[in-house]
Structure 1
Amino acid sequence: MSRDAKQTGSATLRVCLIALPDAVISTLAGIYDVMNGLSMIGIASPGTEPPFKVEIVGERAGPLRLASGVPIEVQRSIDEIAACDILIVPSVLLKPGGWEPGRYPRMIDWVKRVHDGGARLCSACLGIFLLAETGLFDGRDATVHFGYASQFAACYPAIPIHPERVLVISGTREDLVSSGASNTWHDMVLYLIAYHVGATVAQEVARMFALQWHQDGLTPYIIFEGRKDHGDAEIQNAQEWLSTHFSVASPVEEMIRRSKLAERTFKRRFADATGIAPLSYVQRLRIEDAKRRLERTDSPVDEISWRVGYEDAAFFRRLFKRTTGMTPGAYRRRFQIPEFARR
């Protein structure tokens, strides 16, 4: 159906919400309630067909125990469904060994068939691991939870990923949709409502359920952890020293002096080992410490700047904004632990 047809309420879009044993109940249930909520709580216009009909779909109908042990009821089997308009894979919980490719061959074949029939494929958080097996995302931009980006890249190197992005829409028909970390399923669902029903309705749903658009992206949420599995003992020693001395004056020069390597050699080996230049590495450590201080204290920004190693507070503010996408003040307003929760 066309976008205009959806907005007039002349037809109902069929949404298949995939239930796997690995699925996370909070994401699955949240998507189900919000997309069905337009008719359940009266947001849809009276007398019109609901814009979405969401069904929980799996390899077999009946009870299914999800990753957390919570049982749900799979309403329809994939064998009963030849077509749908939107297919959504909620977040999954990865086991310690990571994703197991080839675990759901029947599901993968079915996903490819309904996509051939015109379905939009959507993933929330780690649900992209399942959709990646179809091959339909190869060469197409996508996003994934930033904490699992390296695992995803190792499994599916043909898919360009952008873990700092909240929502990525790709494909020749805008038919491949992925959302990033955890609660960015809010953004995905609101996007689908806005696209198919209208922005005004999407905003009303956001207010009703207190959902948030993550307009600042996911960069502020990402914690910098320098790579240490590179095998260069000299550089690893420098990293360990730097982890507790990043705020000293001239830390790069001090690392070089302590290593007894030539400056050019040290900088080359550091960049090769960690993937980032020594100065940039120092800056990332300082910004991470500043983030924690903004979250947990009421210290003035100028004092935090000095404590992490910058006497020029204006430079610190510019660097913080460039690194996180937010000013220190905006970051504090978003992430500071409330007074009642501090100990």
Structure 2
Amino acid sequence: MPEMARPLHISLVAIPDAVISTLTGIYDVLGSFRMLGRLEPSIPESPPFTVEIVAIERGNVALASGVPVQAHRSVLEVAATDIIIVPSVLLGHDGWTPGRYPEIVDWARRMHTEGALLCSACSGIFLLAETGLFNGRAATVHWGYAEAFSKVFPDVPLSPERVLVVSGEREEYITSGASMTWHDLVLYLIARHVGATAAQTVARYFALQWHHDGLAPYIVFQGRRDHGDAAIAEAQAWLSTHFSIAGPVEEMVRRSVLPERTFKRRFTEATGFTPIDYVQRLRIEDAKRRLERTDEPADEISWRVGYEDPAFFRRLFKRVTGMTPSAYRRRFQVPTFARSKAGRSST
């Protein structure tokens, strides 16, 4: 276990956009060592972390849900900290508006200069990216916010399929991906600063999960539609209900009345996918829903989504999602007891 001369100070940032479940979850887990130390010999007797909720001003902060939390101190009162964590934030229809929290951004930049780690859970990276310190640094964010993030912060390279990204010369920039990957963030911090055994103990006690398979299985494919190419948009609309037919690309070309090369070039420019890749993503997305909601064999699902060769379907499914169809079904299918209960309540 790493030796610590003093507890590391963690500043957990509360802003009105923050999601309460992420903030309080991180606070509870990282602040649990005093309690766990009485129960588990692998946990150090002295808590390794001191966790404070900080905000622009001390006192109540109403979060995105309207539920308030108590900020222990204003960021202007925090002259030194070791780790800054910004929890998930909830974006509205207009996305993220920069410049609303200059005091926090300036403070985070100053604390980083003095050695602090900058950590974000899910969409908390929106606030930290305003420091400019993540420009050119690999990061991750909830896949549903990736496009909105890149529009505001185009200089931050994103990998939304990754669970946790650690970058920087000191490994001082730590970002976690979608929603519950704050589990991975806190377990990483515990493993890094307290030890792997302590991280395993905390994970077991709270039933936290390392997302070993990455986030690709969770990502729902939604083809880009805001590109402004009417011919391609019409092809996408048709394809959304005809992707399982034989030769869908050829049929799209025929219906578009465009030269094949022109159609394929425009389709790729508009959507970011070649026509055949786009078809495959739609087919795999439909297969995922069938694996989640039915008991149909994988071979039957392969045929229903447009593949006559089940072996090819299985290889493609694993390449896209990172999991075999059977593993995906085990992970995501609603348990039998839950399905039977839902069935009884609806009758």
**Which category describes the TM-score, using the shorter chain as reference length?**
over 0.9
Matched, 1:280 2:277: yes
2: CA distance between counterparts of 1:75 and 1:31?
15
* Aligned position for 1:128: 125
2: CA distance between counterparts of 1:44 and 1:81?
33
**Which residue identity lines up with residue 74 of structure 1 in the other structure?**
A
Map of 1:33-72 to 2, 5 A cutoff? 33-42=28-37, 43=40, 48-72=45-69
Matched, 1:218 2:215: yes
CA RMSD of aligned residues (A): 1.4
TM-score by length of 2: 0.94
Give ranges in structure 1 of 5+ residues lacking alignment: none
* Aligned position for 1:163: 160
2: CA distance between counterparts of 1:168 and 1:22?
23
* Aligned position for 1:23: 18
- Alpha-carbon contact 1:59-1:79 (below 8 Å) kept: yes
1: CA distance between counterparts of 2:199 and 2:44?
19
**Which residue identity lines up with residue 159 of structure 1 in the other structure?**
V
- Which stretch of the first structure deviates more once superposed, 37-46 or 114-123? 37-46
- Alpha-carbon contact 2:122-2:179 (below 8 Å) kept: yes
2: CA distance between counterparts of 1:35 and 1:263?
57
3-state DSSP class of the match of 1:14? Answer: strand
* Aligned position for 1:182: 179
Map of 1:143-162 to 2, 5 A cutoff? 143-162=140-159
- Which stretch of the first structure deviates more once superposed, 264-273 or 108-117? 264-273
* Aligned position for 1:108: 105
3-state DSSP class of the match of 2:217? Answer: helix
Give ranges in structure 2 of 5+ residues lacking alignment: none
2: CA distance between counterparts of 1:208 and 1:319?
37
Query: How far off its partner does 1:44 sit?
Result: 6.8
* Aligned position for 2:243: 246
Query: How far off its partner does 1:314 sit?
Result: 0.2
3-state DSSP class of the match of 2:21? Answer: helix
Query: How far off its partner does 1:41 sit?
Result: 2.9
- Which stretch of the first structure deviates more once superposed, 80-89 or 190-199? 80-89
Query: How far off its partner does 1:227 sit?
Result: 1.4
* Aligned position for 1:305: 302
* Aligned position for 1:73: 70
**Which residue identity lines up with residue 53 of structure 1 in the other structure?**
T
Map of 1:223-242 to 2, 5 A cutoff? 223-242=220-239
Query: How far off its partner does 1:47 sit?
Result: 7.7
Query: How far off its partner does 1:95 sit?
Result: 2.1
- Alpha-carbon contact 2:34-2:45 (below 8 Å) kept: no
- Alpha-carbon contact 1:5-1:11 (below 8 Å) kept: no
Deviation digits for residues 74-129 of structure 1 (CA, Å, limit 9, x no counterpart): 11122221111111111111122111111011111111111111111100011101
* Equivalent residue in structure 1 for 2:3, among 5, 9, 13: 5
1: CA distance between counterparts of 2:318 and 2:87?
32
Matched, 1:89 2:86: yes
2: CA distance between counterparts of 1:136 and 1:89?
15
* Equivalent residue in structure 2 for 1:293, among 290, 306, 322: 290
Deviation digits for residues 141-171 of structure 1 (CA, Å, limit 9, x no counterpart): 1111110101110101111111111100011
* Aligned position for 2:96: 99
3-state DSSP class of the match of 1:133? Answer: helix
* Aligned position for 1:339: 336
Matched, 1:330 2:302: no
**Which residue identity lines up with residue 101 of structure 1 in the other structure?**
P
Deviation digits for residues 243-281 of structure 1 (CA, Å, limit 9, x no counterpart): 111111111111122222222222122112212111111
**Which residue identity lines up with residue 319 of structure 1 in the other structure?**
L
3-state DSSP class of the match of 1:177? Answer: strand
**Which residue identity lines up with residue 249 of structure 1 in the other structure?**
A
- Alpha-carbon contact 1:295-1:335 (below 8 Å) kept: yes
- Alpha-carbon contact 2:264-2:274 (below 8 Å) kept: yes
1: CA distance between counterparts of 2:44 and 2:222?
54
**Which residue identity lines up with residue 168 of structure 2 in the other structure?**
G
TM-score by length of 1: 0.95
Query: How far off its partner does 1:46 sit?
Result: 7.8
Q: How has the CA–CA distance of structure 1 residues 47 and 166 changed in structure 2, closer, same or farther, with 3 Å as cutoff?
A: closer
Identity %, equivalent residues? 68
Matched, 1:119 2:125: no
Query: How far off its partner does 1:11 sit?
Result: 2.3
- Alpha-carbon contact 2:43-2:198 (below 8 Å) kept: no
3-state DSSP class of the match of 1:219? Answer: coil
Deviation digits for residues 37-92 of structure 1 (CA, Å, limit 9, x no counterpart): 12223347688321111011111111121110111111112222111111111111
3-state DSSP class of the match of 2:10? Answer: strand
1: CA distance between counterparts of 2:252 and 2:242?
10
Query: How far off its partner does 1:288 sit?
Result: 0.4
- Alpha-carbon contact 2:36-2:43 (below 8 Å) kept: no
